Each structure stands twice: as structure tokens, then as C-alpha cells.
Chain A
Amino acid sequence: MNSVRSGSHPVRLEQDVVLARQAVRKLAQECGLRLVDQTKLVTAVSELARNTVVYGGGGEMDWEVLEDGPRKGIRLVFRDEGPGIADLKLALTDGWTSGGGLGLGLTGARRLVDEFDIASTPGVGTRVTIVRWN
């Protein structure tokens, strides 16, 4: 598996969520993802970037275009230095929410991508990694 290109976007303000979506849409098109897969990835980005802004107090989205044989994919890492999540298992339960949302942000995003990984330390920050292949 090779990393072809990579970069980073700030995710600090609400408007950055929109910009992150647009940036990932462009990457997904370049990687030849089908429209449905593009939409799933962009929607996951929206959920995760919002979490970074609202709960993480802002952070970064690192992106990477991957190549594995004939397959192309995108890996995204959302990282913040916010309060972190104390109970990851609970946070990954459908319908659970700490804010005013529907509690579908994390769990929903997980269902929309091929690979999902979350690491969080209370007081240090949260890091969510997702991958979507074409």
C-alpha cells in the first residue's frame, strides 16, 4: 500500500466543515470513487469534522491518497486536542449523544466507510481515522 499524495486542512470553525466536505469530494472524484461512495465518504467527513469542531474544540483533518495494486483509496485522520472521550464504547453506541444531536455522528460515520479507528485520551484529545476504497 503506497501513499501517493497527502495534505492537511484546518477544522476549527463551522465553515471549515463545509470546506472539508468540498475538499474530500474533490479527492474522492480524483480517486474514481462511484457517486454513492463519494457521498458516503463526504457525509462521514461532515459528521467527524463537526465532532472535531463542536466537541474537540477544533483540530485538523489530514488526508492521504492511497494506492494498493489497482485500488485507490482515501485515508482521513481527524485529530483534536479537546477533552477526549471517556467511554469510547458508549460513544460508539447508536443513539447515544453527549450534545444535542441524534447520536449518529460516530456510529453513522463508521457505517459509511471501509475502515474506522478511534483513539481518545481524556484531557489529551481524540483521533479518528477512516479509509474508503474505490
Chain B
Amino acid sequence: MTNLNHRTVDALRINHGELLRNWAADMEANTSQAALKAGELQQQMTEFLRLFVRGVEAGSPGSLATGEWSEMRHFLEKLSYNWAVMGVDSQETAAFIFSLKRPVMVLLQREFGDEALFFVEQLWVVSEFIDVLAMHTISTFQKSREAVIKRQQEELLELSTPVVKLWDGILALPMIGTLDSQRTQVVMESLLQRIVDTGSQIAIIDIIGVPTVDTLVAQHLLKTVTAIRLMGADCIISGVRPQIAQTIVHLGLDLQGIVTKANLADALALALARTGLSVGRAS
């Protein structure tokens, strides 16, 4: 990438107030920017232009890794992260930077319009610079969005299946909805962790709310029961629907040594009995 001619750099620096006004006017006319407050946007634009002028004075942005451009890179990364979190879409984010092209072109045309060759050449270089900045912004924007989605998925997973304490030393995991392998895994891990945290002797996994299971999920369930035993606690599975019982038998999975109960109440009664407690009617 070539550097800008010093005359162009001077023009950008001297006229940067005008550039900012034109850019702001364009932005207002062309994009909704619904998620952004006007004042905030203005602030971002001012900062962007300041860093842009400072950058072009030093030379071409290259990969944005070096010297004068690194501050611009940090600025863009912070901006795209914030916008991604705020829910600004990728088009608006890209438009923010690309919309600088027109005011820059107008400015260069006025300054160097009568030197056609020079004008075109400089316009191309500036355009390349802006493209680099836009590309970097979009790629970090994308990464930020992916990170946000990943975090939300994890939060959702944890929310969807809470481990509850039924009694001192007795935990229950009521599972609801279709189980996929990943969800089962995360849920089971949090159950195991809760067993350690609470020192619970018995864990009940209730699957009455689960319509079907596939091989992987059934295997996962069995592995969890084994893992719980290795940790020194016991596990009861309750609410096995007829279809699921059939699946398990069809799959040839070995349920030996696994205690199952028809419903959560029976499982709790067994758990209480095992911990040496009994429930009776107060006379």
C-alpha cells in the first residue's frame, strides 16, 4: 500500500472540521442508527477522524498493527465490540466507516479537481485506507457478535435446567424438553458440581418432562450415573416414560445397578429412607 501525498494529508488535516460536518450530515441522511444516541455517534466520529488524520500523517495503515495506527485499531475494536453488544447490526457498523468516503471525495475534488491524475491516484489510496479500517471493524464486530451469542447460549443452558435441593443431602434435576447431547452434558456437569458443593448424598434425575431420548443422550445419562457413583454419591432416575424405557432396552443399554422410580415422589421417598428419614402425618 502506498502512502498519501503530503498535500492530501495537509488537506485532510486543515479541513477536518468541514469533513466532520459533511460526514455527520451524510450519516444523518442515510442511516437510521436507531440504537445509537446522536451525541454518542458524533463523539465516535470526531474521535475516528482525529485518529484517521493522525494515522495518514504517519503513512499507510498496513495491517493496523504498527505505530500510529495501533490506537485506531484499539478504537475500532472497542467500537465494534460496544456496538455488537448494543445490537447495532453489521450493515450500520460498516456504513459508519464507508460513509466517510463521499465527504473525502468531495474535499479532494475541490482541492485537486484540476489535476485529474493526481486526484484519482490520491482518491484511490484514501479509499484503500478506508477499506482496511472497515474490514477490520467488521471482522471484530463479527467476532464480538459470536462471543455474545456463545455467552447467551451458555446462560440459556444453565437457566433451562436448574438443580434444586429437595432436602438436606438430596438434590433433584428436573429435566424438561428435548435433550440434545450438548445440553445433557452441560446439565450433568452442573449437577455433579452441585453434589460436591452441597455435599449431597443422593441426586434424583427426573426425566418425566423429556419426550424422547436418542442413543447419545441415553448413554450420557448412564455415564452420569456412573460418574456420580465414582464421586461417592447415589443417583435415582425417576419418571422414565414408556417410550424411553423401550428405547433404552432396544439400544441394549445396560441399566443394571441403576435405580429407577416411576415418579419424583417415589424417588424422594426412597431418598429420604436411604438417608434415614421418614415422613408421617402429624397426628
Instruction: Give chain A's interface residues, CB within 8 Å of chain B.
Output: 34, 36, 69-70
Contacts and interface: CB of A to CB of B under 8 A. Distances in A.
A31 B147 CA distance: 14
Interface in B111-150: 143, 146-147, 150
A11 to B, nearest CB: 29
Contacts of B189: 34, 36
Most buried by B among A34, A69, A70: A70
A34 B147 CA distance: 15
A102 to B, nearest CB: 16
Contacts of A34: 189
Interface in B142-186: 143, 146-147, 150
Nearest to B146: A70
B264 to A, nearest CB: 27
Contacts of B146: 69-70
Nearest to A134: B150
Contacts of A36: 189
Question: For chain A, what secondary structure do more than half of its interface residues adopt (helix, strand, loop), or is it mixed?
Answer: loop
A34 B182 CA distance: 13
Contacts of B150: 70
Nearest to A35: B189
A49 B233 CA distance: 32
A36 B150 CA distance: 18
Contacts of A69: 146
Nearest to B145: A70
7 contacts: A34-B189, A36-B189, A69-B146, A70-B143, A70-B146, A70-B147, A70-B150
A95 B143 CA distance: 44
A30 to B, nearest CB: 17
A69 B147 CA distance: 11
Contacts of A70: 143, 146-147, 150
A60 to B, nearest CB: 32
A70 B150 CA distance: 10
Nearest to A34: B189
A92 B248 CA distance: 27
The 7 closest A-B pairs by CB, nearest first: A70-B146, A36-B189, A70-B143, A70-B147, A70-B150, A69-B146, A34-B189
B126 to A, nearest CB: 30
B176 to A, nearest CB: 23
Contacts of B147: 70
A36 B182 CA distance: 13
A110 B189 CA distance: 21
Nearest to A36: B189
A50 to B, nearest CB: 22
A36 B185 CA distance: 10
B122 to A, nearest CB: 35
A34 B150 CA distance: 14
